[in-house]
Chains A and B, each alone.
Chain A
Amino acid sequence: MRSLSEIETISKRASRSKGFSWGTSEEVGKCIRLLELFSLPGVKNLSQYLKSYNQNNFKQLKLVAKNNNSDGKYHCPISSGVSFLDQIKKLEKHNTIEFSKIAYPLLFLPFASRASEILGKRIYIKIDEKEFMLNFNQSIFSNYSKNEILENANVISVAFLENTNSFSDSEWNEMTKFENQTFVDESDELKKKSAGAGLTDND
């Protein structure tokens, strides 16, 4: 089995071989490591993308907008990812972002995952029919778990989720009832002696 350290190094160097800057190649190394850590096929997809890199004229997305159209060409998932990560603070105001046509879209995911950590918000991504919930760069939850190459996506939508509870107030109240069962009812004497108060409370 290859270690994550080996995966990071080879991904960085392989990206560099295709002319990505050293700084961007470093980002790719970290991102492929992340995908593999989350059990998504990073190496497989990167390898195939780099193989097709010279034959296809991918669109380099430098400035990310609310709607990112492609003029027929597929967006490069790496430049899209790096730009998305760099510009995340400005993009947050849009609530949702849409891209049309991204090549090898799984490669875009880890950049968005890191962005989720920076924002402190979950990010929901839909790549055609596949859904991904990015949880502060701690995990990726998805209805897609195939170990395969995902070559192209036509519509990618990104939503920044507000930090809200996943439960109702009544469910929370039910929990507090359970919690209370671990507490001790304080008698007057316990109140006096166990809180560490002095002889005079209001001096």
Chain B
Amino acid sequence: MEVELRSPKEIMKLSRLGCFHQSRLSFLRSFLEEFKDWKYSRDLFELDKEGFGKAVYSFSKNNRTYSLVCFANELKDEERSDRVIATKWDAAFVLHDGIPLKEDIERLYENVPKQEVGRLSYKELTLSRANRSVRLFNQVVDSLSNGRQPDKKILSKVGYLYRTTAVYGSGKFGLADRFRIKNRSEIKGPFRLEMMLVYLVRQFTFDQINHIAKNKNPTKFVELDSEIAKGLGIGNSTGLGMAPFIVNHPTLLNNWVQSRESILKKIREIEIVKEGQFNIFYDCLIKSIYNVKNWNSDSEFQKSKIRDLLEDLNKTINYLNVVDKKQKYLFNTIYKWIEAKVCEECLEYLVSMFMEPFDEIVKEFIDKMSSDEDKHFTIPSQRTVIQLRNILENHYSELIKLDFNKKENNLNFWFISKNKEEPRLANRFEMNGSDLEQPLAIARDIKKLYERVIVSKNSQTIAEFLIENDDLRHVVRRAFIIEKFPYSEILDNTIGEKLMPIDMLRFKLSFFGAVKFDPRSDKWLRICMFQGAPLPNQLKNFDDKWVYDSLN
């Protein structure tokens, strides 16, 4: 039996992308798989009794070493901010390619804490900074220094000791360009080095808190219990900076979604599902309910989604209890049932969960999730207008129906702020700056392109068409990309009244492997990563379903 891939017109809607969840395919899980047999070590730990100073952690194998260099700084409470406008942080981090020399550490000390205004070199790979969770950090220090483990309930509510507020890579601020390292087999999957940085930062937070507690009360203190530490992750605050990424990397977007969709298709096509395979799926699902129940958010938007998710998960479990597990194409039957009976949030949650028993299927796709955008950049200018028209009508059929003369469809514009060089979104009818709009209104520009194409001569070449239509060159390029990469485009209006920018953020973060999406507005959210993940000294032998074994 052959199952069709789900249509991009269904999947690439923002509301659907905003329902995606972590899965076996997530980058932080594939990072742990890849690096589990690398040698981990803490190479330097020079903190004063308050926990300020520097530390170095590394992963090495054969002749390759990656080193995280950490700088922990004193920060007054009033200086602490997760917003991108901040200029100081509790700690700053950089992943160095190799073993840093003393001169490297001195150079990095001068630059890494400055983040965007510092300069890095080709020897550095990723850069980040983080702030302590005010809610939690001091409480944990107090408990440990008084010889007690911290209250698990409080830990579970927050889920992390530190929250990163940005993670940069790929050539930003002088960091190494991707081309320098892209052929290394261990980093074939996307964002591997960003994941490594965050993972090692997590260990630094545990070491630092133990160190502070010990210095506060050397006779009475206890170390944070490793099982409790395992249940803590690293938080992250993410704003609009992340949103344009998925528009600006169309083939990468395609490869992420196409991998996920192809895996789902393969699972639905399995004729005989073994009892053990069904049980892994079912067990993960049952365990994960605890995570959902402990998914806290003050956002009414998110709270309502979580409520619906829980209700539909319970409905699904009741169904799974009675479904005939011996029938052929069991997962196809289950899929069809959930497609008809549960909300989008639950549907995508279960699609992620489907992957848990099928490592062999998933593994095949992990290396296919990277992309070289440059290979598909040049417009095939010898093609014809009729071919372009067909692409537009086939792939963008819904978008070309939109009326952008209506205010609600054309309400917002994306721009880059002068002070932080970060993407922003504003109402074009109320704010200045729309004359400097960024090319992120793809739906509107595709519609414009279509209107020009239908009045052009069908036999005209694209080279000829572009002579008079150069203003739409950026979307002509995209149209020829979507022809080969059907999941390369958000098939929705990114400037309309109903836009929820956090859908774009959540989509990307779900591929990272983030959990507990907690929108703080429609434009930024908090998440948690690596909660429940094995500690570095447990990597040699760990349960790859750890994500369902967190503190919760």
| Assembly CA distance A87 to B473 (angstroms) | 14
A68 within 8 Å of B by Cβ?
Answer: no
B471 within 8 Å of A by Cβ?
Answer: yes
Q: Which residues 366-385 of B have a CB within 8 angstroms of A? A: 374, 377-379, 381-382
Docked-complex contact B473 and A22, CB < 8 angstroms: yes
Q: Which residues of A contact B467 (CB under 8 A)?
A: 62-63, 83
User: A190 to chain B: closest CB distance in Å?
Assistant: 38
Q: Interface with A: B49-57, B173-181, B493-501, which one?
A: B173-181
Contacting A26 at CB < 8 Å: which of B178, B179, B471, B477?
A: B477
26 contacts between A and B (CB under 8 A): A1-B122, A1-B174, A2-B174, A3-B122, A3-B172, A3-B175, A3-B177, A5-B171, A6-B171, A6-B173, A6-B174, A13-B416, A21-B470, A21-B473, A22-B473, A22-B474, A23-B475, A23-B476, A23-B477, A30-B374, A30-B377, A85-B378, A86-B381, A86-B462, A88-B381, A90-B463
Docked-complex contact A89 and B121, CB < 8 angstroms: no
Interface size on B, residues (CB 8 A): 32
User: B120 to chain A: closest CB distance in Å?
Assistant: 9
4 smallest beta-carbon distances between A and B, as pairs: A23-B473, A5-B171, A3-B171, A23-B474
Q: Which residues of A contact B439 (CB under 8 A)?
A: 22
Q: Which residues of B contact A13 (CB under 8 A)?
A: 416
* Chain B residue at minimum C-beta to C-beta distance from A17: B436
* Chain A residue at minimum C-beta to C-beta distance from B122: A1
User: B24 to chain A: closest CB distance in Å?
Assistant: 30
Proximity string of chain A (1-13) to chain B, C-beta cutoff 8 Å, 1 when within and 0 when not:
1111110000001
Q: Which residues 466-483 of B have a CB within 8 angstroms of A? A: 466-467, 470-477
Q: Which residues of B contact A88 (CB under 8 A)?
A: 381
A118 within 8 Å of B by Cβ?
Answer: yes
Docked-complex contact A26 and B474, CB < 8 angstroms: yes
- Which among B377, B467, B470, B477 has the greatest number of chain A C-beta atoms within 10 A? B470
Docked-complex contact A86 and B379, CB < 8 angstroms: yes
Docked-complex contact A3 and B378, CB < 8 angstroms: no
A24 within 8 Å of B by Cβ?
Answer: yes
Q: Which residues of B contact A3 (CB under 8 A)?
A: 122, 171-172, 174-177
| Assembly CA distance A26 to B170 (angstroms) | 18
| Chain A residues with a Cβ under 8 A of chain B | 1-6, 13, 21-24, 26-27, 30, 62-63, 82-83, 85-90, 114, 118
| Assembly CA distance A6 to B471 (angstroms) | 24
| Assembly CA distance A14 to B377 (angstroms) | 20
* Chain B residue at minimum C-beta to C-beta distance from A13: B416
User: A26 to chain B: closest CB distance in Å?
Assistant: 6
* Chain A residue at minimum C-beta to C-beta distance from B380: A118
16 further interface pairs, Cβ-Cβ under 8 Å (given A23-B473, A88-B381): A4-B171, A4-B177, A4-B179, A5-B170, A5-B177, A6-B171, A6-B173, A21-B471, A21-B472, A21-B474, A22-B439, A23-B471, A23-B476, A24-B470, A26-B473, A83-B467
Q: Which residues of A contact B466 (CB under 8 A)?
A: 86
* Chain B residue at minimum C-beta to C-beta distance from A89: B382
* Chain B residue at minimum C-beta to C-beta distance from A8: B171
| Assembly CA distance A132 to B170 (angstroms) | 31
Proximity string of chain B (163-207) to chain A, C-beta cutoff 8 Å, 1 when within and 0 when not:
000000011111111110000000000000000000000000000
| Assembly CA distance A75 to B121 (angstroms) | 37
| Assembly CA distance A22 to B472 (angstroms) | 8
* Chain A residue at minimum C-beta to C-beta distance from B445: A22
User: A136 to chain B: closest CB distance in Å?
Assistant: 13
* Chain A residue at minimum C-beta to C-beta distance from B470: A21
Docked-complex contact B122 and A87, CB < 8 angstroms: no
Q: Which residues 249-301 of B have a CB within 8 angstroms of A? A: none
Docked-complex contact A1 and B471, CB < 8 angstroms: no
| Assembly CA distance A2 to B374 (angstroms) | 19
| Assembly CA distance A83 to B462 (angstroms) | 11
Q: Which residues of B contact A63 (CB under 8 A)?
A: 467
Q: Which residues 117-157 of B have a CB within 8 angstroms of A? A: 121-122
| Assembly CA distance A124 to B471 (angstroms) | 31
| Assembly CA distance A3 to B374 (angstroms) | 16
| Assembly CA distance A24 to B466 (angstroms) | 11
* Chain B residue at minimum C-beta to C-beta distance from A26: B474
| Assembly CA distance A3 to B176 (angstroms) | 7
Docked-complex contact B378 and A23, CB < 8 angstroms: no
Proximity string of chain B (7-37) to chain A, C-beta cutoff 8 Å, 1 when within and 0 when not:
0000000000000000000000000000000
| Assembly CA distance A26 to B474 (angstroms) | 8
Contacting A5 at CB < 8 Å: which of B178, B378, B416, B474?
A: B178
Q: Which residues of A contact B462 (CB under 8 A)?
A: 86
User: A27 to chain B: closest CB distance in Å?
Assistant: 8
| Assembly CA distance A68 to B176 (angstroms) | 41
Q: Which residues of A contact B175 (CB under 8 A)?
A: 3
User: A134 to chain B: closest CB distance in Å?
Assistant: 15
User: A94 to chain B: closest CB distance in Å?
Assistant: 15
User: A6 to chain B: closest CB distance in Å?
Assistant: 6
- Which among B171, B173, B176 has the greatest number of chain A C-beta atoms within 10 A? B171
* Chain A residue at minimum C-beta to C-beta distance from B473: A23
Q: Which residues of B contact A5 (CB under 8 A)?
A: 170-172, 177-178
Docked-complex contact B122 and A118, CB < 8 angstroms: no
| Assembly CA distance A27 to B379 (angstroms) | 10
| Assembly CA distance A39 to B374 (angstroms) | 19
User: A24 to chain B: closest CB distance in Å?
Assistant: 6
| Assembly CA distance A6 to B156 (angstroms) | 40
Docked-complex contact A87 and B381, CB < 8 angstroms: yes
